[in-house]
Structure formats: structure tokens, C-alpha cells
Amino acid sequence: MGGTAKIPVAVTITDSNFFIAVFTLLLSLQFHKVRAKMHVLSVNLSDEEKRLLRQFPGTQVIEADPDNPRGPACRKGEAILAAARISPEATHISLFDGDTLATGDITEHLCPDGEALFGRWKTPAEDGQIFATRYEADDVPGTIPRQILKIWQQDVNERSTPMIHNTVCGGNLTVHRKALGFIERWQSQMDKVLPVHIKGAHHFESKAYFQVDESVLNSLLAFAYDAPAALPAKLNIDPKAYVAHLGPNNPKPWVLWRPEKLCYYPQVARFFTWAKQEGYELPVVPWTFQQRNKLAVIASAHLFGLARWFKGRLKG
């Protein structure tokens, strides 16, 4: 590795359901000339889908374990570890959610200082909203509910007192190679406590793990002896070059844009126009990602927002 050089790689994970999202993510990285190897953990992608991803310079598709029936959200540790194994020169591995894009050249933010885990800490207001329906009378809004902490502590079975009061996002994070042991622990704990049948990013029937991978990550940050320092991520601090999350709610933008995410539509349309000019082979491009449909895209987003507001008023 030599000296103190920092060498970043990035990885994401997808099945066919999120293929167009990951294709868009890779387009954004190419468009902004991000200088990092990109790995994609393929969960049963077709040969054609993998071929389209491999056309991007510096991109490698990794085959996920075919005997593992779990969905992508429950295999984030596997993705990070696979990227680290295939790129042993890497000092930092960043995990991108599939439904994200780069808004600029994020290269300098992929190697933050410190041999730690780097993620976005949620504010008390955010956690208060997330846990709102799970608080009991003795809980303090804006913190992690005590009954959830109790289950986490029992499942991790190490520390007796939690080391965190708020939670860290489970995606768009960076890990230093020296913290990969904790990533192995994250994956093994997901395999231990999450039902195999979970395919999405939420499992609302679960009291303590309704955020699936993110819940497990935070259970370990709270109670595992080997949890690394969780420092603020660098991927969301630069207003000119950050990782934008197009999710997590439905509808997805390749189906219909939600008003609060519509600001990213011009960039996405520009990526596909640019890719065609550069000679990249494109999959079927959703109508919501095409520049020629601008008026319909904008109108449909605002109609969705109006319908959502009206529905909320009726419930209220």
C-alpha cells in the first residue's frame, strides 16, 4: 500500500428490481469523474444487466453467494467485505445505497481521516419521528426507545449500557479497512436476528429491527465491545458534491417522482442524455428519466403531492 496513501473503493448491491437505480448511480459517478473503483454485488442480475454495468470503466460486478436467499438490504456487510477482498489495496470502502447518485466529484470525501466507521448520525428530531409510534410512557422522545434497547442488549449480549443515544444511517457510509472485523460482525448479526424472508429495507412487524440492516448496525454500535468509533460521514457535507438519496419512500423516481425529490430530475435526465452522446449502451430508460418528458414529469410529481396532501387531510 505504501506510505500513508489513501485508496478508496465503493460498492453497492442490487437485484433486478433496483437495476435502473444502480445504473443511474454509476452514470453519475462517470459523469462527475469520480476517481474510485466501483464494485456492484449482483443478487441474481441477468447476464444482460451485468454486461451493461461492466461497460463503465473501473466497474466490477461481483457475484453474490447464490445459496443465500436474503434480499440486498440484508447483505450490505457481504458487499463491503467482497469489495475489500477484491481490492486489497483499498484503505477505505464506501457503501452506497442503490437508489443514490453523486451530485459532483465526491472523490475527496471517500477517504476521511480516521480508522473508523463513517456514517450520517440522525438528529434527535429524526429519531423522534422514526420511533414515534414505538415510544412508551417512560421514553424520552428523540432517543432510542428503551424496549428496543432492551432487545438489542439481549441479542448482542455484551455491554449492559448503550454507547449511543441516537442512530446512524445504514447506507452511504464509509469504513476503514481496519474496521472490517466489525463489518463481518454486522453481517453475521443480521444473519442471526433477521428473518430470511425479508426482501425490503423495512420489516414493520418487528419491534426492534423494523429498519432491518440499520437496526442491526445500531444494536452493535450500542452494545458490542468491538464497535469502532462512528464518526460523521463526509459524503453529505459538500453542497456541490454529495451523495443524494432518492429513496427510501415509494413511489421510486423511476416510476414517479415525489415532489421533495424532483430537484434531482434534471440531473438524472442529463446523465442519460450525456451517456447516449458518449456512446454508452443504455437499458430501457424510464419515462421519468427522459428530458423530453419534462412537463409530464413535473406535473405528475405535483399531482402526486397534491393527492398525498388531500389524503392526509381526510385522515386528519
Peptide bond into 259 cis (omega under 30): no
**Alpha carbon distance 301, 217 (integer Å):** 34
Q: What is the SS3 assignment for 247-314?
A: CCCCCCCCCCCCHHHHHHHHHHHHHHHHHHHHCCCCCCCCHHHCHHHHHHHHHHHHHHHHHHHHHHHH
**Alpha carbon distance 294, 285 (integer Å):** 14
CA distances, 187 to each of 49, 55, 80, 181, 257 (Å): 26, 30, 10, 10, 32
**Alpha carbon distance 76, 12 (integer Å):** 8
pLDDT value at position 2? 42
Over the stretch 44-102, which tens digit does the pLDDT of each residue have?
A: 999 999 999 999 999 999 999 888 899 999 999 999 999 999 999 999 999 999 999 99
pLDDT value at position 315? 76
**Alpha carbon distance 234, 113 (integer Å):** 10
> Residue 151: which of 225, 104, 196, 210 has the closest Cα?
210
pLDDT value at position 1? 39
Q: Which amino acid is at 24?
A: T
**Alpha carbon distance 80, 12 (integer Å):** 8
Tell me the CB-side half-sphere exposure of residue 259, using CA atoms within 13 A.
Answer: 9
Percent of the chain with pLDDT over 70: 98
* Residue 111 in grid coordinates: 477517504
Peptide bond into 248 cis (omega under 30): yes
Dump strand ranges (E) for the chain: 8-14, 37-42, 59-63, 92-95, 100-102, 117-119, 173-176, 230-232, 243-245
Give pLDDT < 70 ranges for the chain: 1-4, 316
Percent of the chain with pLDDT over 90: 90
- Kindly report the pTM of this predicted structure: 0.94
CATH of region 8-232: 3.90.550
Long-range contacts of 202-208 (CB under 8 A, 24+ apart): 202/248, 207/134, 207/147, 207/148, 207/151, 208/147, 208/148, 208/151, 208/152, 208/155
**Alpha carbon distance 247, 270 (integer Å):** 19
Q: Which amino acid is at 133?
A: T
Where do the structural domains in the chain lie, given as residue ranges?
A: 8-232, 249-315
Over the stretch 176-197, which tens digit does the pLDDT of each residue have?
A: 999 999 999 999 999 999 999 8
